[in-house]
Amino acid sequence: MYIASIGVLFLAFSAAHSVAADPVNTAHGKTADFKSVDQLIKQAIERGDVPGGVLAVMHRGKTVYIKAYGHRSLQPTKTPMRRDTIFDLASLTKPIATATSVMILIDRSKIDPQAPVAKYIPEFGKHGKETITVEHLLLHRGGLIPDNHLNDYKQGVAKAWQNIHALKPRTKPGDAFKYTDVGFMVLGELVKRVDGRPLDQFFAEEVAKPLGLKDTVFNPPAAKRERYAPTQQRNGQWMQGQVHDPRAYLLEGVAGHAGLFSTADDLTRYASMLLNEGELDSKRILSAKVVQTMIRGRWLADGTGGRAYGWDVDTGYSSPRGAHLPRGVSFGHTGFTGTSMWIDPVSQTVIILLTNRVHPDGKGRTVALRRAVGTAVVEALERSEQSGLGRKRLVLPGIDVLQRSDFAALKGRKVALITNHTGRSLEGKRTIDLLHESGHVELKKIFSPEHGLHGVIEGSVGDIIDIKTKVNVFSLYGKTRRPTADMLQGVDTIVFDIQDIGTRFYTYITTLGYAMEEAAKAKVRVVVLDRPNPIAPLGVTGPASENERLSFIAYRPMPVTHGMTIGELASLFNKQYKIGCDLQVIKVQGWHRSMWWDETGLTWINPSPNMRNVTQALLYPGIGLLEACDLSIGRGTDQPFELLGAPWINGPQLARDLNAHNLPGLRFVPIEFTPRASKHSGKPCQGVYIAVTDRSKVQPAATGMTIAWQLNRTYGSTFDAKSMLRMLASHRAWQQMMTARAANTLTDSWAKDVAKFKAMRKPFLLYPDK
């Protein structure tokens, strides 16, 4: 089950934000029934897990349900919970106050997330912390201790900071995800050092006031005491409006990791700002680009530790996501006092659950409640007829289908698995581990493709040993790009499970083809665990690679995009090119060819270091054609394939020229950027940002060729058009581009290629169009 996506992230966001009476229960169309959610919270109260709470649910940018439950306080007297109760947010401070403030300063070019923290706080840069960057802290990858001893804070604020600066990292910066309060304390101090205003003042003036957050504040005023949810006692007094976290308390109530107070209504306004690309009620807090940078998930090399800047995405702390919100796309956070918020930007669904579970004795529990509520809220919205959350067929990749069959296709087989970090089940478990632990399969060897087993290596890949299973991993992108006879010794089956992106020059399909050829020679069976093509709706586009230009980025003659899954391609390769191996494809269940990736409910895992979202996969078949030319196509930036440029380009002129071609589904915006790697690294470039306005109309191959035509026309030999031949692999199409008087005639040169390939692929298509 999965909340249906509604187009490219952010393109369908609405600015609407409304809050109705208490409780609100007005989902769009048919009234949503939240009785099951109510029951879950009431049962938690009866068990003593929480004294009470406030739940707020947003969908499509509007608050559709908000309700108070149970008691605000149990001691010293019982008082009922109210919707306007002000809660100690605890660690929700991290994303809402601290990370948002840091992102504002990033937006204003006052902080570089890739820069060492010591650039801004020199005394922090010692004892091994010199290389810790701002990004490391935002992602909890700085290697810092979760919390240093409370005694370090008892001699005043100045001494506390001396003690923090004296800390040593426990792990190498960037190597591991280790949740840490200390890192966010430092980020709070970073705001003060860079801007001059302390965190509480900066947040109040730059975020709370413009958004109209009336009750979101550090050190809340005593005048509102009757509205505060108490936590526990400190020095014989109930903490009611006083921060619960002991370190934040000793830092005078203002810290980057804890100290913020708020209400459910205020948090819906904050969430609406994020969903509306950084703006609410005509007040802009963050640019749309920086919002996307903030909420984009980033994983470690082994696929774990999924975090965004300040937000949790996919870790052991992700319980509020429940069973149905999309893993890897939605994001949120929790707080120790019993607070949580989870946001799905695709369906614009927000689930806010505020409790004071530590009241009165610190023994309350909310982890299971958060998960149950997250699940039940989505199910309630799905039952609403016109909610836009209609129940979708569950898309099951080949590995999940294989697992559900109890590994029938591989029982008793001695397997060599070709895979990387994208070879995972719906639940996120590696195909390596599923086969190794199945009891039915003998996993003898692992083969890794370009970028290695963890998908992070640029260039040649060496052999390694998988740490968990102790199985040897042989590289197919190093000394050899084919399994050798020695590699296949003792193996009777090759299993292939890698996520492709649907473009001819993405090398994983060549790795598949070479493996099939060697398997046929060795009489080894091949089983392909199929996966969706993320850009299948594009269909067949672009010129076919020519026989004399076949290579590792052009395995066989085929257009730039083929609209097929990797399993379908395996069937076509096997028969059309007479490979003749013993082939079996384990089909995907519940998928059809008109589905974009974000309509499948599957987690996006970057299939290569620079392929970070569906939009980039959509643009890659066109922009990738320019890769060999004297251009930066965004490698070494946060948005590869979404922008291009060079020191010799006039950005505004190029944007005007490209927009004049009226390329469907796209708009070109002039941009300046400096790549940190690859072409023109460290050099200021002008160029264009490519904004997708309607992905269903985009024609990537035509786009890439039109850009090349325009650059060649404007800049001539400086552009170095001949270099395009490497990726294009079609001299005929290149010649047409060089001589055409108008760019709109370029598609004529490959119309026959497209028609021929469509006819060729038809017998091998395994899935319906809709």
Q: At what angle do helices 700-715 and 731-739 cross, to 10 degrees?
A: 50
Is a pLDDT exceeding 90 seen at residue 13?
Answer: no
Determine the pLDDT at residue 324. Answer: 81
Is a pLDDT exceeding 70 seen at residue 168?
Answer: yes
Out of 378-392, 514-528, 552-566, 606-620, pick the least confident: 378-392
User: Which phi and psi (to 5°) does residue 261 adopt?
Assistant: -115, 150
Q: At what angle do helices 367-383 and 35-47 cross, to 10 degrees?
A: 160
User: Which phi and psi (to 5°) does residue 506 adopt?
Assistant: -85, 120
Both tokens assigned to 310: 């300040």
Share of the chain above pLDDT 70, in %: 94
Is a pLDDT exceeding 70 seen at residue 591?
Answer: yes
Three-state secondary-structure class, residue 654: helix
Determine the pLDDT at residue 31. Answer: 53
Element (H, E) at 510: helix 508-522
Reported for 113-121, long-range contacts at CB under 8 A and 24+ positions apart, including other chains, are 113/138, 113/309, 114/676, 117/142, 117/186, 117/190, 120/190, 120/193, 120/194, 121/165, 121/186, 121/189, 121/190, 121/193
Determine the pLDDT at residue 391. Answer: 41
Out of 31-45, 171-185, 548-562, pick the least confident: 31-45
Rounded alpha-carbon distances, angstroms, from residue 756 to 254, 463, 540: 67, 40, 10
Cα-Cα-Cα-Cα dihedral of 83, 85, 86, 91, to 10°? -70
Is a pLDDT exceeding 50 seen at residue 436?
Answer: yes
Sole residue written with tokens 């060549």: 510
User: Which phi and psi (to 5°) does residue 378 adopt?
Assistant: -60, -40
Count of alpha carbons within 13 angstroms of residue 20, beta-carbon side: 12
Both tokens assigned to 682: 């460290």
Element (H, E) at 12: none
User: Taking the CB of residue 741, how many other CB atoms lie within 10 A of it?
Assistant: 7
Element (H, E) at 571: helix 566-576
Is a pLDDT exceeding 60 seen at residue 17?
Answer: no
Which pLDDT band holds residue 33 (cuts at 50, 70, 90)? confident
How confident is the model over 421-438, as a mean pLDDT? 93
Both tokens assigned to 695: 């992905």
Rounded alpha-carbon distances, angstroms, from residue 67 to 30, 265, 471, 512: 19, 11, 53, 54
How confident is the model over 165-179, as a mean pLDDT? 95
Query: How far is it, in rounded angstroms, from Cα 59 to Cα 347?
Result: 7
Is a pLDDT exceeding 70 seen at residue 388?
Answer: no
Out of 137-141, 350-354, 602-606, 680-684, pick the least confident: 602-606
Rounded alpha-carbon distances, angstroms, from residue 725 to 280, 635, 728: 47, 20, 5
How confident is the model over 662-671, as a mean pLDDT? 94
Both tokens assigned to 2: 């999965």
Which pLDDT band holds residue 21 (cuts at 50, 70, 90)? very low
How confident is the model over 364-374, as a mean pLDDT? 95
User: Taking the CB of residue 25, how many other CB atoms lie within 10 A of it?
Assistant: 17
Is a pLDDT exceeding 70 seen at residue 4?
Answer: no
**H helices, E strands: number in the chain:** 22, 26
Top mean pLDDT of 18-22, 309-313, 317-321, 638-642 is at 309-313
Q: Which of 618, 619, 614 is nearest to 644 (CA)?
A: 619
- By CB atoms closer than 10 A (0-12, 13-18, 19+), residue 521 is middle
Element (H, E) at 643: strand 643-646
Sole residue written with tokens 């005078």: 252
How confident is the model over 74-80, as a mean pLDDT? 96
Cα-Cα-Cα-Cα dihedral of 310, 311, 312, 314, to 10°? -110
Mean pLDDT (the chain, rounded): 92
How confident is the model over 190-199, as a mean pLDDT? 98
Both tokens assigned to 197: 């205003």
Both tokens assigned to 183: 């890192």
Reported for 754-757, long-range contacts at CB under 8 A and 24+ positions apart, including other chains, are 754/540, 754/541, 754/542, 754/559, 756/544, 757/540, 757/544, 757/558, 757/559, 757/562
Question: What's the DSSP call for residue 618?
Answer: H
Out of 21-30, 406-415, 665-674, 687-696, pick the least confident: 21-30
Which pLDDT band holds residue 26 (cuts at 50, 70, 90)? very low
